Amino acid sequence: MTRHNIALCLSSFILMVFSFAVHSANKVDSVRIWAAPESTRVVFDLSQAPQYESFTLTEPDRLVVDIKDTKKNFNLDSITNNSRLIKRIRVSNPPAKGTLRLVIDLTKATKFNLFTLPPTAPYGNRLVVDLDDSFSAEAKAKVAVQSSDSNRDIIIAIDAGHGGEDPGSIGPSGMYEKRVVLSIAKRLADKINATPGLQAVMTRTGDYFVDLNRRSELARRSKADLLLSIHADAFTSPQPRGASVWVLSMRRADSELGRLLEQTEKHSELLGGVGDIIQNSDVEKYLVQTLIDMQKNNSMVMSNDIAKDILRDLGSITHLHKKSPEAASLAVLKAADIPSILIETGFISNPQEERLLKNGNHQQKLADAIHRGVLRYFESNPPSGTLLAKRTNTKHKVKSGESLSVIARRYGVSIEGIKKANNMKSDMVRIGQNLVIPRA
């Protein structure tokens, strides 16, 4: 080989290495800020999986993120920032050549968590920064507290599915599930709040992600009597249509749609981020587990009864995919102490139903139907100590395995009181018998 050829090969090799180095450098293509009432999520969209380090500084409070072999490909001043925790995001002098140093100027010292997410449609590689202010005095003051008197409202927690980084299912025209279900959830909350004896609390009120386990926790902090999670269904083909109502299954779903729903929930966690870490208490674990199992069984029975009422009313205004409640093992339904129901308002993957779900009048009809089902159940089965219990004569239909003493304990009344209200001469009850439950 001649010197000239060697020189050409060497030049080509250097050029190839240089081109590869330029091509392999990571890029931050955009930054998105999702602000929630008690937290903020910052998402850095990157061309490749990042290598990063982070640390905090005080006076003033800052979070510094160093991303190796990376450059920015956008204007930081163009970021939409509606967070009360972030003043701005800026670039600072890097510790080494090729490192991109991003500084998040904070309004106060805040707990934070950083993690990466792999490409998941519609997003690519991401570096996620979660800022958490949920334990501040201001946040605690916002937790709903029920009245201790005998006229309290029944609290309905309304959970609009997905949100923020997680768009949910996407319809043929590009409509995001997260947007349509938030609109339906807000209409339902308005309807509930306009009903004497009922009060709505929402797990999210804007376009931000709430961890699936956190949704139940928010309902619990509000002392909710019921959790309704609002969604829009999707399938791998456009043909399926209709609304459905889901309750908790203690085993894996046995229908194809149920398995798809469980997979979608895992997909939501991947899009939205990592879940909270639950720590074990020092209380005797076997006793605690027994109490949890009892609560869960009671919640599951109540959830199934309410689900039937909701389906009855949904069926009057829209097609039903299934006329009976379906069951799946879903995180948002797993609160042992709160009856929980997931409502699929229709198939967003079906072009005709996507158009319906976009329509404000149809959204209102869905909210009205859900409200009617919930109200009818609680008018027949008002929790003790509520305004509805004071106003309504409670009725109870005897189920298998129930005795008069069990029914009396459930409603906090005496056996003699039930016998007197129903002109009963003995303690015997029969399955299917309708009993009037006197006020406690």
Every domain of the chain and the residues it spans: 24-135, 143-272+293-380, 393-437
Mean of the per-residue pLDDT values for the chain? 84
The model's pTM is 0.74
Least confident of 16-20, 296-300, 426-430, 435-439: 16-20
| Mean pLDDT, range 136-162, rounded to an integer | 68
Domains 24-135 and 393-437 are alike in CATH topology? no
Burial of 326 (0-12, 13-18, 19+ CB in 10 A): buried
pLDDT digits (tens, 9 = 90+) for 281-323: 444 555 555 555 666 677 888 999 999 999 999 999 999 999 9
Q: Which two tokens stand for residue 262?
A: 């469980």
3 or 97: which carries more pLDDT confidence? 97
Q: Work out the average pLDDT over 255-278.
A: 60
CB 103 within 8 A of CB 89: yes
**CATH classification of 24-135, choosing from 2.60.40.3500, 3.30.210.10, 3.90.226.10, 1.10.10.10?**
2.60.40.3500
Q: Which of 219, 247, 208, 246 is closest to 157 using CA atoms? A: 219
Q: Answer yes or no: are the C-beta atoms of 90 and 76 closer than 8 Å.
A: yes
Q: What is the pLDDT of residue 393?
A: 64
CATH of domain 393-437: 3.10.350.10
Task: Measure the CA angle with vertex 391, ends 387 and 396; round to 5°.
Answer: 100
The residue among 340 and 249 whose pLDDT is bigger is 340
pLDDT in tens, 92-101: 999 999 999 9
Rounded to an integer, what distance in angstroms lies between the CA atom of residue 431 and that of residue 440?
Answer: 24
pLDDT at 421: 84
The answer to which of 71-80, 225-234, 255-264, 344-353 has the lowest mean pLDDT is 255-264
DSSP code of 331? G
For 338, the token pair is 């709160």
Task: Write out the DSSP string of 49-92.
Answer: ---EEEEEETTTTEEEEEETTEEE-S-GGG-----SSEEEEEEE
Q: Residue 221 pLDDT > 70, yes or no?
A: yes
The number of beta carbons lying within 10 Å of the beta carbon of residue 379 is: 16
| pLDDT band at 250; cut points 50, 70, 90 | low
pLDDT confidence tier of residue 25, bands split at 50, 70 and 90: confident
Task: Return the structure tokens found at 200.
Answer: 């709505």
CATH 2.60.40.10 fits 143-272+293-380, yes or no: no
pLDDT tier at 212, thresholds 50, 70, 90: confident
